[in-house]
Structures are given as C-alpha cells and as structure tokens.
Copies of this chain bind each other. A is one copy, B any other.
Amino acid sequence: MKTQDKQKRFLLPEDEIPTAWYNIAADMPNKPLPLINPQTKEPLKAEDLYPLFSHAAADQELNQTDRFIPIPEPVRELYKNYRSTPLVRAYGLEKALGTPAHIYFKNESVSPVGSHKLNSALAQAYYCKEEGVTNVTTETGAGQWGAALSYATKAFGLELAVYMVKISYEQKPYRRSIMQTFGAQVIASPSMSTKAGRKILTEHPNYQGSLGTAISEAVELAMQTPNCKYALGSVLNHVSLHQTVIGLEAEKQMAMAGEYPDVIIACFGGGSNFSGISYPFMRHVFSGEKKTRFIAAEPASCPKLTRGVFQYDYGDEAGYTPMMPMFTLGHNFAPANIHAGGLRYHGAGTIISQLLKDGYLKGEDIPQIESFNAGELFAQAEGIIPAPESCHAIAATIREALKAKKEGKEEVILFNLSGHGLIDMTAYDQFHAGNLIDYSLPDEEIKRTTDSLEKII
C-alpha cells in the first residue's frame, strides 16, 4: 500500500545538518565598503565593536577571508531540536494558482519560537556565555527576534532585557508574554529608561516606536551595564552568517528533490532571512556556474532597496552604532505602522547593499493588502498561516508564479517561509475587517530623510 506520489517534504538526517556557516564576504566580487567609527571617521576595527558585542560576533562581523566558520557544537546541539527544517513542495499553492512553476518553500516556521530568528539567537547567546557575559540587551520589532533570544539566553543561563517596538508591544501582547514565559524582561520602546527613549518621547509623545529607536535604547543600556552585551537580530554580517544554515540545508534538500531554483525569494526587513536562504546559492552565481535570480520582497511603505539611497548611515535612530554603507531611507525615517513589524527598518546591511549595487539581487515592493491576500491564499492552500512578514515573500512568489504561468514556463521557485502568523492574528482580523490601507509614500518624504545624511560615498 505504499503511495506512488512524489515526495512533498524533504528533511536531512541530523548528521547532515551543516557543521559550518557560509561567510559570503570571502567570495564577493566586490567587498563591502568598511564600517566607519563615527568618532574617528576611521574604518572600524573588530576591537571597536568589542564593548558592544561578544568578541566572536565582532570578529565574524569583519571577517572577509574565511569562507566557512564552524558552528560551535553546543549551538549545533540546540539546532538539532528543530533542524533541519523541512523543504516543502507547495503543491497546494501551485494548484490554487494553476501555474506550471514548481514552488518550494523552506519552512523556518517550525522552529519552536515560530521563526528563523533562533538560528542566530542561539549562536549569539552561546558566544556571550563563553566569554563570561551575564546580561544581554536587545530590541525586537514584531517580537520574533525577542522571542528567539529569550529562549536562547535562557538555554545558556543569561539574563535578557528586550526593548520591544511600542506598536508591536500593543498589537502583539502574546509575543510579549512568550518572552516573559522564557524569563526575559520586556520594555515597550520608546521608554523613559534611556536617554534615547526620553529624548524621542519628549519630542514626539505619541511616537509608536521603530526598530531604530529600540536599538538605540538597547545599545545604551548595554553600554551602561557591567558585564552586559548587546545582540542584534538582523542587518549585521554576523547575523546573516548564522542564518546561512537555512540556505546550506536548502541546497542539499533541493538536490534531494532533484531540482535547482531559478529564483529565490525572501521578505526583507534587515535582511537576515533573505541572506540566510540566498547566500549559499549566490556563491554559485559569483562563480558563473548558475544564473539564479534573487528577489527581496520589501513592504511598499518601507522601500529602502528600490527607493533608498546608497550612503553611509547609522543603524539606529540616535546614532549610537558605527556608520554603515547601506541602501537606506535615512535613520530618521519613520515607517508607517504596517503589521509586518519585522520589515519596518530603514536600511539594509553592508553586504546586501553591496550585492544590490552590483546587481545580484532585486528589491520588489509589496503593498500591505496584496501581502495579506497572498498570505490567506497560502494558508488555505497549504494549511500554514504565514507571519505578516513572510506574506511579502509569498506575494512576490505569486507574482513570479503567475508570470511563469503566462509564459508557460516550468520555473523552479524557492521561497523562505520565515515564520508562522499564529501570534499575529490581530493583523489578519484587521485585514478581514477591511481596515488595512496601502500607504503611499511620497518621494519628498524619502528626500527629506535621506538629504540630511552625510555624503561620505
């Protein structure tokens, strides 16, 4: 009675889970421009980052030579609790679209905290523990990163304080509660507990918060607390590095499926899940072996990839971070209160920005309502309710699959399902109630926030 049907889900045995992350910086045709120390205006050295980050993370941040960096055994042990994540052929979605395209997704939503964020959280918490750190601070937008780091710090016996973007704190009380269940302290940002928070609350009493502001607060607290480091969930090179476990697995799993992706799609906030699934495949484009296309699906209301400028900018609102060469809308850009809180960030990381400049990927802007329509279609076709962030990747996938249908092409599409939306149902309620609107962002607004940037490039 064995079924004759094709396999749907592809999983790796535990000993096939990657033992090293892939460091794309070693292979890039053009290396990213250096980070700049805002005090000295000199290129940043790893030591400049030591006060803020674990030394291991700081070293990884600037490492442009080692192609593979070993995954520490205790981190890999915890990866085994949920990895490999499944690679799934989305037969249901293909059928719903009537497309000849073969759609695959890498299902990071099966992580116990519901998203890919745990891949870097475990690594960063481990390094902190190894280096004798006792306390960690961070920020979180939608709450995915905060939830992941809450569990990761608990797993390694560290204390954690999380600054959670206020709009998410209010829209997503369950995520706050998840962090608290893992033992973390959660503060709505902007808060009165930091200089950066007090300043913005004084100037804009009703400010709903942004990742940029929350980062400022978390950095400030880390700098003022003994034996405390800061951990970031996206944007930085070492975070993208840790996320490459996604793409390294997907590469083996696509081989199990007997196919190779023509196009790879992920949503884009700070870039961590996009980098994670893309970089391991992109190296074969550098080498000329493959012609894979890469699409970063960003919200139309926060379009740094398609409408931002390539310039040095700060990673946070208050200007505490090093200056980074990035596609940015300006660190003072206040994104609209869309439900995909994890995508409300003003800039892209240095590596991804260089790769975009060099034409290796393409940004695609997705309006909010299109993203939820896509998410609901996917939910009904595949049974998984996607996170509002991931809905953007699905919307871009659907665009691509419908193009393939029009052209009659059996294109192979791989997208990253970065997280599930079971904790984001308020957003779906708003969608069902017809309360969502698509914000139109005038050029003048972008000009205002980018014109003020120092012209270093």
Contacts and interface: CB of A to CB of B under 8 A. Distances in A.
A239 B8 CA distance: 26
A43 interface: no
B177 A429 contact: yes
A70 interface: yes
Nearest to A18: B1
B174 A81 contact: no
A178 interface: yes
A14 B9 contact: yes
A110 interface: yes
Contacts of A19: 1-3
Contacts of A81: 8-9, 88, 382-383
A80 B59 CA distance: 42
B20 A3 contact: no
A225 interface: no
A408 interface: no
Copies of this protein chain in the complex: 2
A3 B77 contact: yes
A423 B7 CA distance: 31
A177 B383 contact: no
Interface of A: 1-3, 5, 7-9, 11, 14-15, 19-20, 70, 73, 76-78, 80-82, 88, 92, 110, 112-114, 118, 151, 154-155, 173-174, 177-178, 180-183, 376, 379-380, 382-385, 420, 422-423, 425-426, 428-429, 432
A444 to B, nearest CB: 37
Given A3-B15, A7-B14, A422-B422, A178 B380 contact: no
Contact of A423 (B8, B20, B76, B174): B174
Given A181-B379, A181-B385, A3 B423 contact: no
Given A1-B20, A422-B174, A428-B181, A383 B113 contact: yes
A34 B174 CA distance: 45
Contact of A15 (B2, B9, B88): B2
Contacts of A379: 151, 181-182
Tell me which of A8, A113, A151, A383 has the highest count of chain B C-beta atoms within 10 A of its own C-beta.
A383
13 contacts: A1-B20, A5-B77, A8-B77, A82-B383, A112-B382, A114-B422, A118-B383, A174-B422, A174-B426, A177-B428, A177-B429, A182-B380, A423-B425
A14 B3 CA distance: 9
Contacts of A426: 174, 177
Contacts of A80: 8-9
A105 to B, nearest CB: 12
B384 A173 contact: no
A134 B110 CA distance: 33
Contact of A174 (B7, B73, B174, B432): B174
A189 B21 CA distance: 52
A422 B423 contact: yes
Contacts of A9: 14, 80-81
Given A2-B15, A154-B380, A155-B383, 17 more contacts: A3-B14, A8-B77, A9-B80, A81-B382, A112-B383, A112-B384, A113-B383, A151-B379, A173-B425, A177-B425, A177-B426, A180-B428, A181-B376, A181-B432, A182-B380, A183-B380, A423-B423
